[in-house]
Amino acid sequence: MWYFAVGMTEDIVKMINLHHLRIFHSVARRMSYTRAAEDLSITQPAVTNQMRAFEEELRLKLFERKPGKVFLTEEGKILYEHAQRLFDLEVEIERVVSDLKGLRVGMVSLGALRMYSPTFLHLLINYFHRLYPNIMVKVDEAGSLDLIQSLLDFRNEVAICLKVEENSDVCFIPFCREDMVVVLPVGHRLTKQTNVTIRDLADEKIILRGKGSASRHLVDQLFEKSKIFPHILTEANNTELIKNMVEKGEGISFLSRIAVTKEIDEGKLSAVSLEGNQIALDISIAYLKNHVLSPPAAVFLNVLQELAPRDKPVGSATALIAVLLSSAPDQP
């Protein structure tokens, strides 16, 4: 039995019986006890008895009765208007629930690494929307540690991030591997080389991500291993700022290849590989273990898993872009 509060007198909360309200609404709509009983699949005496109990419960006279006829009182008319709005809302709620289950509406909260280029995220979201056109995707860009915490705080349901540390509450699925490259201003002396060593960078002014970043940790390890102290000019977590500073010749940096592909193609930046591809970022799909995802998040996770490699080495984000581009419809 369902109830809702309609008023309060000192310590007593008065409740309306929603079952009685539903019967009242049906009688008022049909202006007949007999027809209301047919609509509700109950007997006419049951309708009569429950309406009598409802009026006693409310201490209001809702109907005027004559042989074979029913009329609403002024109080009954006012209550009917409110009941109509309530049951219209019930129909709307049922429709929304149906749409959510059928993935006709909904939203997925996606956490994504800042290092990813707009091209990759745009293609990924576009690919998803061709499959589920009415599901909104809310993108939260951050570093890997923040993204993992966002899953634990239920701010995001799915994240594309680095597995920077083990977490028993988070499931990580290998998604792709991205090489870090040395990003240089156009015309820099090192652009003439195919590969560079970490020692080649000893005298360079370097722009790095802030401490706590997974990629920064890998770069720091590389310098420590080579027993070289880098000349760090600036720390920044904004990829666009780092690229702009390098473009203006204020230093060099380490970024994922996918993050600078567009600028390299446009001739704004140059990049060279580290000898032996010494820095690689293993990117994963992450979500909470033992947690039921919302239907939109569940299908988004399925789409990512379908893109992830199966029974073969993890590929690069560039390879994923090629897959997404090949699946895109031809432009007119």
Listed by start position, the domains of the chain span 3-101, 107-176+283-327, 178-280
CATH placement of domain 3-101: 1.10.10.10
Domain 107-176+283-327 identical in fold to domain 178-280: yes
How confident is the model at residue 26, as a pLDDT? 92
How confident is the model at residue 319, as a pLDDT? 72
Please state, in angstroms and rounded to a whole number, the distance separating the CA atoms of residues 263 and 254: 14
Fold of 107-176+283-327: D-Maltodextrin-Binding Protein; domain 2 (3.40.190)
How confident is the model at residue 312, as a pLDDT? 55
In angstroms, the Cα distances linking 20 to 47, 50, 79 are 9, 7, 12
Please state, in angstroms and rounded to a whole number, the distance separating the CA atoms of residues 68 and 199: 100
Helices (H), 41-73: 44-58
- CATH class assigned to 178-280: alpha beta
Please state, in angstroms and rounded to a whole number, the distance separating the CA atoms of residues 118 and 260: 11
How confident is the model at residue 313, as a pLDDT? 53
Please provide the DSSP assignment of 198-243 as one string.
GGGGTTSEEEEPPTT-HHHHHHHHHHHHTT---EEEEE-S-HHHHH
Low-confidence ranges of the chain (pLDDT < 70): 1-14, 116-117, 277-278, 309-318, 327-332
How confident is the model at residue 259, as a pLDDT? 85
How confident is the model at residue 46, as a pLDDT? 94
